[in-house]
Chains A and B, each alone.
Chain A
Amino acid sequence: MTQTAPAGIVRRKGLRHRLMRILLFAVLGVFCLYYLLPLFIMMATSLKSLDEIRTGTLVSLPRQITFDAWLKAWGSACVGVRCDGLKPYIWNSVLMVVPAVAISTALGAVNGYALTKWRFPGANTIFALMLFGAFIPFQVVLLPMARTLGVLGLAGSVSGLILVHTVYGLAFTTLFFRNFFMGVSDGIVQAAKIDGAGFFGIFSQIVLPMALPAIVVTVIWQFTQIWNDFLFGVAFTVGDSNPVTVALNNVVNTSTGVKEYNVDMAAAIITALPTLLVYVLAGKYFVRGLAAGAVKG
């Protein structure tokens, strides 16, 4: 242990402390298993054939690994009447999530910056109102939003969904960036003002590069929220423009024929994969970003 411990921190030695550490890691191990078991079962099931699922037990490893279920879930499973698998819907989700995340994060960053570094009368009131938006449940905005989309002529389209997610996400992204920028010394912005930079010059050249941890946190948060969203997707899109979460639901809920658990599992994993990927790639920054501001310097 001593070699892998954070360099140089002195810690107590002795039997009692050794035992406590072993206990600690045992508990952590149990939690770890608890979280990983469902994933394992999904993985295992998706790699089994239907016969094997019917005869075997839930937790057993597949006897014979087959990717048929994955291929079917990806390319040929039936979503409603259309049997092209999840592929087109994944694409819908990507088309929705990328602009929605980008726009809401960018606007949140500008908002947070303006609210903290160019304070104007009423800034706190505006922020309080925006914060209020973060606590409004999805269900409350459904009807007004549907009406708005109808008026704008965006009903049932991916663009409509982008707008919904951007607007709804703004409360969160503004909150994240505002809190991050609160911790950034005003002096830095003042120095840049004296150096001759303006509102957007300071934003793009000084403030935004500093905000990398906040950007990562916000992007991950928004990505997971928007990608995983089901309610807005099912409410504001129809058939071909459904995001993948809605399509997954339709795959699993298809009532015709036998229940293909392996295809369902594979489809579920495929749907969840992008968020997993984002965590793996940027998780390091996520944790760092959440802790940012806790310690100065």
Chain B
Amino acid sequence: MQSSNAINYDYTVAKYFTVSAIVLGIVGMSVGVIIAFQLAFPELNNFFGEYGTFGRLRPIHTDGVAFGFTVSGIMATWYYIGQRVLKVSMAESKFLMFIGKLQFWLYIIVVAVAVVSLLMGETSSKEYAEFEWPVDIGIVIVWVLWGVSIFGLIGIRREKVLYISVWYYIATFLGVAMLYVFNNMEVPTYFVSGMGDWFHSVSMYAGSNDAMVQWWYGHNAVAFVFTVPIIAMIYYFLPKESGQPIFSYKLSLLSFWGLMFVYLWAGGHHLLYSTVPDWVQTMASIFSIILILPSWGSAINILLTMKGEWGQLKDNPLIKFYVLASTFYMLSTLEGPIQAIKSVNALAHFTDWIPGHVHDGTLGWVGFMIIGGIFHMAPRMFKREIFSKKLVEAQFWLQTTGIVMYFTSMWIAGITQGMMWRATDQYGNLAYSFIDTVEVLHPYWTLRAVGGSFYLIGVFMWAYNIYKTATSSKAIEKEPQYASPMA
């Protein structure tokens, strides 16, 4: 095995995407905090006319954190991890370097157009697929370029065996491509009729079919943006940072193929008691429960990697991020299937318990892995020490507090509202008018907004720490070394 120092890895593109992850993280989460406060204090809707209302801003939050922050994080880590586990430098291929840079700059243009068009109200309304067709085309091009980069780098690799992380990046690429294209099939109305808004389009599917395709997409966007690539990250960063080999190769294999096999069936659990066929709902419910197996398989594999080495939790704040991330992954992959049980879903659907669930996954698992991953990469990319470990530590605790406030308040809010919607008096009449069930949520919504703000402050601490690391921290001669499975 070659020592990793023999190859001079080129992190130019990884650095670009690190910057965009930080910037778009701040943008997307700031909008999230704003809309959280809007629910608690509705006057906040009225500052910017039509551009400042909850309905306009919400997609900018969800898409901003999913396709801005998270996708940037995926790219940054890919352009770092990819080279190292394949044992080949981006500098060895002018072509791949060009593709990487092109991908980044096109991505930035597409993000800018996407944000402006959503603010203008150009939306298809389908969740996490709101972008209209011109933006969709841009996204497809960016994605294809990423594919060229993945398979190009694989094509010139020295290490013949693909490391686990690479499996997951490949799956991310394929899964998102398939889902995105099929869910965004739409007909631009201008080209058929010759009039009206040329951004506007109409969905290829109608009604129940549109709903089926959308939630097949919506649920699996969670799979292939919020789960699969994040597992790719933890399979690399945790062993590297801790110096421990992955607990079980067999378990990684089983979890990978299990996840691929099961995940795609579960989308229908967003449509329980709706008008899609019953058997689809039942299948979705059952497969959602089965999904616990491969999800926990990965999580257990990760946690057992730390077997006998738990002392590291005390000394290394990055290990804290990774271990808590896998813990939140276990929590939300148990919670999701519980919500997919039909009788539980009858209560939980349409309530705040759902966004609560989403956020213990996204804040705890996705956010912590991207933040922790970039903290691992920074000293190696910039050849400088982390500016302040104390600040990392403080950030960790502040954000953890924020997450706990977020999901506990949303659990209570969701179950309270769900119960009130169905409560009846002694004669069997509905006990509460709708507005009663809104007013009762005010304290929980306030708490949630404050929790979200804590997390956002943590992101600013992260940004500052990385900025300082890149510019003025103490330089290091040799890359920090830990025993590790691959490099």
> Does B bind A?
no
